[in-house]
Structure 1
Amino acid sequence: MATAGKVIKCKAAVAWEADSPLVIEEIEVAPPQKNEIRLKVIAASICLSDVYHMYKGKPKDGFPVVMGHEGAGIVESVGPGVTEFKPGDKVIPLYLSQCRDCKFCKNPKTNMCEKDCESLMTSGRSGNQMFKQSPSEIRFTCRSKPLLQFMRTGIFSEYTIKNKIALVKVHDDAQLDRVFLFGCGVSTGYGAAINNAKVEPGSVCAVFGLGAVGLSAVMGCKHAGASRIIAVDINEERFEKAKILGATDFVNPKLHQKPISEVLIEMTNGGVDYSVECVGQVDVMRSALESCIKGWGVSVIAGWTDLYDFSARPIQLIAGRTWKGTSFGGFKGKDDVPKLVLDHMAGRINLDVFVTHNMNLDQINEAIKMMMAGAQTKSVYTVYIYIPNT
């Protein structure tokens, strides 16, 4: 392409500081360096993790930053050492790398990668080490100031750069304004049920929280053959989408005076076989665990938070329950995302239900307000697509 090897000036949504609206700026995107790929962003969406970083995490060293990590695009150019990608390829950025060489990538028991694990495991209470970049990794600038890329992605830009271990090529016929959802939320929830809980045919499941991750978990439970899927949310407007994806029962905790775990235990004669927590609240995590049947119940934490410690009574685990977590639904990005895309293309994974608005980059602050309102009040959960203006 004519832009290969040159600095590209384009529009991006920049967070200059915490607790402030994003600013649409003209930024400079450097050419890709060794093992890097520069891509033109075609579609992206807001994940609540983006909002969390902007308004709750408040890391002192996390700004200024180009936000966004869930999206898809087309390769514009590649740097030295890149043979896996070429200009014109359709790609999905990965926030969880797969280098294929480290001890984690070679182990089928995990989807962690050594390139990410140190930052994930040492993030402590701040939880923002995983978003850091060294000065040598900076590829964005604005007003002569370096800009970070949120989760090393920065998808709220017309162009962005990724390392080759954190990018995956997908089918040439893939519909990018749908399969971009495999970059985070849908993979996380779907995989939590399929890969981490390992839901079995005929089992009884409960999904706590019906955002994109929770709805995807419902879909995963359905595809795994669960006979009963109980959707738990305080927003009953979300139940209709959950029903489309396979939910059979619906429970609003606010309509019950007893703990939700007791409600589910009574509904299922002892507790559910599997539960997936998709809210990111520690009290809900405990409720999801305590909703499981003793002896073999499995509860998976898919919701993200690092602000609070969580706890449970040891007897809950001593009695035979298993409590585990998931990142990216247990999927190894380079190996598994292309398969998910093919499943969507074959009609086995419904992505249309997640997309309700099409908005451009200039409307991003409006969309964030809508997303936050949908997460906290009565609105139906919405995923927003951003298609750059170029």
Structure 2
Amino acid sequence: MVTKSLLFSALMVIKCQAAVAWEPNVPMVIEEIEVAPPQKNEIRIKVIATGVCHSDLYHLFEGKHKDGFPAVLGHEGAGVVESVGPGVTEFKPGDKVIPLFVSQCKECRFCKSPKTNLCEKSWSTERYAQMSNTDTRFSCRGKPVLQFMGTSTFSEYTVLNQIAVAKIHDDAPLNRVCLLGCGISTGYGAAINTAKVEPGSVCAVFGMGAVGLAAVMGCKNAGASRIIAVDINEQKFEKAKVFGATDFVNPKAHKKPINEVLTDMTNGGVDYSLECVGNVAVMRSALESCVKGWGVSVLVGWTDLHDFSARPIQLIAGKTWKGSLFGGFKGKDSIPKLVLDYMAGRIKLEEFVTHTVSLEQINDAIQLMKTGGCIRTIVNVSK
């Protein structure tokens, strides 16, 4: 039964702290923003913790779509339902949840298909390049503030449509499972869902950031016999071994192109390669590292700045080039299961966390990612 106090809360505008990105290439500012009540089919969430992902860095310093500002960034969070709007029956105040930047309405042709995790009702349907839409529940200084990727977890409170929220176990530690909102699910799923790594196979993962390490973990859990970690930072190999890497290759340590190095190491190429950098040159190298006939290469790293290319013979000879968004996971169905997998010790999350900061230190967290000084930084948004 909904009490009068909860109903009153649902009708109120909440004033809270948030990190507002007013324009590209400028540090975020901690501001007091207004968060409107949830409307029909919406949920207002108190964000407890969030990770900082490369997509946040990309939008702020690399993407430069001015129409995507001002905005509250963040999309890798976890929190507690504060109030619900009319028509919401799946959630109630107090539920632990993870916001989803890839929604799952369960009604559109994409949601009904087992071939994809896309959703026609996602925020990205109309303003994909701007990484937001114009419908927002945020305002600051009398101006609308956009919700980045439909989520905006760098705020103490946020509002999402119920199709973009996953309810999780009541005992889940929010300052760890928040990582399942993007990076870890993205890399892990790219290996098990998109590449469909098979037992006994040989894999190469390019880039040992959080997404790449999660891809290594996916290859390991899928039964790969050999997992080659590729990165120019040799200090990352010890961390990669924790997640299951068996070999490490630094492209700068060889005179030959990395694809030739890997081909020599694996008797003709790897069975599966996963590019987790977001660099078009690396994407091509990953494809060319695969064995002809059946090799599968998956694009995981995010970029929208450059075109990429390859020689047609690479594909004609039997290689497959695929892309993976959010690891191929249908969020509302899959994220609660991944949370249980973590709680049962079947996947790692703690090992990804290298730094913890407060919301006021959000620009420090961005700088850590920009300089490669972290794997994942957790931001404690609310108490």
Shared fold, TM over 0.5: yes
CA distance, structure 2, for counterparts of residue 321 and residue 263 of structure 1 = 18
Amino acid at match of 2:133: Q
> 1:264 is matched with which residue?
262
One of 37, 45, 48 as aligned partner of 2:51 = 45
CA distance, structure 2, for counterparts of residue 351 and residue 389 of structure 1 = 20
CA distance, structure 2, for counterparts of residue 389 and residue 163 of structure 1 = 21
Question: Deviation string for 1:334-383 (max 9, x for gaps)?
Answer: 11111101100100001011111111000111111111111xxxx4x321
One of 44, 63, 70 as aligned partner of 1:57 = 63
**Per-residue deviation, 1:118:** 6.6
Judged with a 3 Å threshold, the aligned counterparts in structure 2 of structure 1 residues 48 and 118 are, in CA distance, closer, same or farther, namely closer
The answer to whether the aligner puts 1:387 opposite 2:383 as a matched pair is: no
Judged with a 3 Å threshold, the aligned counterparts in structure 2 of structure 1 residues 220 and 356 are, in CA distance, closer, same or farther, namely same
Amino acid at match of 1:94: L
Amino acid at match of 1:261: N
SS of the equivalent of 1:97 reads coil
TM-score by length of 2: 0.96
The answer to whether the aligner puts 1:202 opposite 2:200 as a matched pair is: yes
> 1:311 is matched with which residue?
309
Judged with a 3 Å threshold, the aligned counterparts in structure 2 of structure 1 residues 18 and 241 are, in CA distance, closer, same or farther, namely same
SS of the equivalent of 2:327 reads helix
> 2:132 is matched with which residue?
132
Conserved? CA contact 2:49–2:382, under 8 Å:
no
Amino acid at match of 1:292: C
One of 17, 25, 32 as aligned partner of 2:23 = 17
CA distance, structure 1, for counterparts of residue 305 and residue 382 of structure 2 = 36
CA distance, structure 2, for counterparts of residue 215 and residue 372 of structure 1 = 18
Conserved? CA contact 2:186–2:326, under 8 Å:
yes
One of 221, 233, 236 as aligned partner of 2:234 = 236
> 1:247 is matched with which residue?
245
CA distance, structure 2, for counterparts of residue 388 and residue 321 of structure 1 = 44
TM-score by length of 1: 0.95
One of 139, 142, 158 as aligned partner of 1:141 = 139
> 2:3 is matched with which residue?
none
> 2:107 is matched with which residue?
101
**Per-residue deviation, 1:389:** 4.9
> 2:218 is matched with which residue?
220
CA distance, structure 2, for counterparts of residue 356 and residue 143 of structure 1 = 35
Question: Deviation string for 1:247-298 (max 9, x for gaps)?
Answer: 0000000000110000000000000000000000000000000000000000
> 1:150 is matched with which residue?
148
> 1:274 is matched with which residue?
272
Conserved? CA contact 2:123–2:133, under 8 Å:
no
For residues 83-98 of structure 1, the aligned pairs below 5 Å read: 83-98=89-104
CA distance, structure 2, for counterparts of residue 325 and residue 281 of structure 1 = 14
Conserved? CA contact 2:20–2:70, under 8 Å:
yes
Runs of 4+ that moved beyond 6 A: none
**Per-residue deviation, 1:116:** 2.9
**Per-residue deviation, 1:17:** 0.7
CA distance, structure 2, for counterparts of residue 313 and residue 115 of structure 1 = 36
SS of the equivalent of 1:114 reads coil
Gapped regions of structure 1 (runs ≥ 5): none
Amino acid at match of 1:58: K
**Per-residue deviation, 1:45:** 1.4
CA distance, structure 2, for counterparts of residue 355 and residue 60 of structure 1 = 32
Amino acid at match of 1:312: A
**Per-residue deviation, 1:4:** 2.7
Judged with a 3 Å threshold, the aligned counterparts in structure 2 of structure 1 residues 118 and 44 are, in CA distance, closer, same or farther, namely closer
SS of the equivalent of 1:220 reads helix
Gapped regions of structure 2 (runs ≥ 5): 1-5
CA distance, structure 1, for counterparts of residue 309 and residue 94 of structure 2 = 49
CA distance, structure 1, for counterparts of residue 58 and residue 289 of structure 2 = 27
**Per-residue deviation, 1:152:** 1.1
CA distance, structure 1, for counterparts of residue 304 and residue 117 of structure 2 = 20
Judged with a 3 Å threshold, the aligned counterparts in structure 2 of structure 1 residues 69 and 118 are, in CA distance, closer, same or farther, namely closer
CA distance, structure 2, for counterparts of residue 255 and residue 302 of structure 1 = 24
SS of the equivalent of 1:207 reads strand
CA distance, structure 1, for counterparts of residue 123 and residue 280 of structure 2 = 23
One of 59, 62, 72 as aligned partner of 2:78 = 72
CA distance, structure 1, for counterparts of residue 20 and residue 122 of structure 2 = 24
For residues 306-345 of structure 1, the aligned pairs below 5 Å read: 306-345=304-343
SS of the equivalent of 1:61 reads helix
Question: Deviation string for 1:69-103 (max 9, x for gaps)?
Answer: 11000000000000000000000000001000000
The answer to whether the aligner puts 1:348 opposite 2:358 as a matched pair is: no
Conserved? CA contact 2:101–2:164, under 8 Å:
yes
CA distance, structure 1, for counterparts of residue 267 and residue 261 of structure 2 = 10
